[in-house]
Structure 1
Amino acid sequence: MSALGDLLRALLPRPCPGCGAQLGRERGLCSACCGGLTPRVEQHSPLSPQPVPHLVSLGGYRGVTRRAVRALKFGGARDLAAVLGERLAAGVPPQWGVRAVVPVPLHPSRERERGFNQAALLAQAVAAELGVPCVPALRRTRATAQQARQHGAERLRNVAGAFEAEAGWRSPAGALLLVDDVLTTGATLGACRDALAAAGAGRVYVAVVAHGAGV
């Protein structure tokens, strides 16, 4: 981070989204909250009706992870993406052989409304830490209702066929890492994996900040 950024953080401190302590020169989260975010690899999410193989996350959607996701997504705390992305990247096993990072896309209308795509910011941070490109390989073919307002099979129907690979995109040799903020049922990530597979992708791993009840 730049010296100017450090100075601004010191002069204009704000509370840590995780615990409320003043951040001072720290960015995103205080050192205590950041240190408590331990990336872990699971073979699948027990919350997903369609198992997500080789999932890395920072834990369940509660406590610090929940507050951090909400601050990033709804509070405009974009500097959190770098911190969370770095923590996620630390949990990606080298043996996965990730060659590119792909964010879950928002529909253009939703992105214009929010001003940014939180998954893209996270994916950029993860990619930078891994030393691989961040590739916007997917696009939404239609606007969908917010997944948080859907239940069970409704989520699967809501996103079925809602994603496709960008025209002309070719999957690199090796694995891809698909990045999103929260995994709830796995419907969105499953639809994205299907779209990548249809475009020729091989192994697709998943990284999310949290898994559990989404927002």
Structure 2
Amino acid sequence: MAGLARALLPRPCPGCGAQLGAQAGLCSDCRAALRPQVWAHSPLRPHPAPHLLTLGPYAGVRRRAVRALKFGGARDLAPVLGAALAAGVPPGWEVAAVVPVPLHPARQRERGFNQAEALGRALAEQLGVPCVNALRRTHAGAQQARRRAAEREDLQGAFGRSAAPLPPGPVLLIDDVLTTGRTAWACQEALQAAGVSVVYVAVVAR
């Protein structure tokens, strides 16, 4: 019934505006534009994120898809983006769990969901590993994406380990966008301080 409703109702693709019909998330052309790539060492500064998996720059289809998921409530994009990221995870990473970057509880209540968790659950399902909310945010702060690079706050100590148990082995930290890398760096530090030896990073766009 849901598929029939999608086919009958005109729904534009968030990536290009073409009508989706029965297809969920993105049209075939926009899906084809999501090409996973792995950076052995991200060139982003001042906090480089080693072992970074991304679908490309924050532009075009990726930018519009992230904004539709994050601000437009298009949650059917999460499985599409999660599957695209899963296709690029190198076998050698041997990921034991996916860990979403957390929102502060106040911001999550305001938004209604955490887009990183939605992406993380989709990615974890594709990889056959658990998605674990292993981090908590200790203070809300300002939205990093809406500030200039020079104005972005130091996030050291902004994240802590939650009580959720993690399986042993490398974890894959997931977020929607990586800009300066401060958020990913702070999350990596919190996980490593809790005993996680290897933390990889995956984002839809950089």
Amino acid at match of 1:209: V
Structure 1 spans left out of the alignment, 5+ residues:
none
Runs of 4+ in 1 over 6 A off after TM superposition: none
Comparing 147-156 with 104-113, greater Cα deviation is found at 147-156
Cα deviations by residue, 1:29-88 (Å, 9 ceiling, x for unpaired) = 001110111111111222232221111110000000001001111111000011000000
Query: Residues 52-201 of structure 1: matches in 2 within 5 Å?
Result: 52-152=49-149, 154-157=151-154, 159-167=155-163, 169-201=164-196
1: CA distance between counterparts of 2:50 and 2:152?
A: 19
SS at match of 1:192: helix
Counterpart CA distance in 2 for 1:106 and 1:76 is 16
Q: Show structure 2 runs of 5+ residues with no match.
A: none
Q: Specify which of 193, 196, 199 is matched with residue 204 of structure 1.
A: 199
TM-score w.r.t. the length of structure 1 is: 0.92
Determine the C-alpha separation between the residues in 2 that align with 1:13 and 1:139: 39
Counterpart in the other structure of 1:8: 5
RMSD between superposed Cα atoms in Å: 1.3
| Alignment: residue pair count | 206
Shift of 1:124: 0.3
% same residue: 67
Contact 1:13/1:25, CA 8 A, preserved across alignment: no
What CA distance in whole angstroms lies between the structure 1 residues aligned with 2:68 and 2:2? Answer: 19
Q: Deviations over 1:115-172 (max 9, x none)?
A: 1100000000000000000000000011111112434454352x221100013x4442
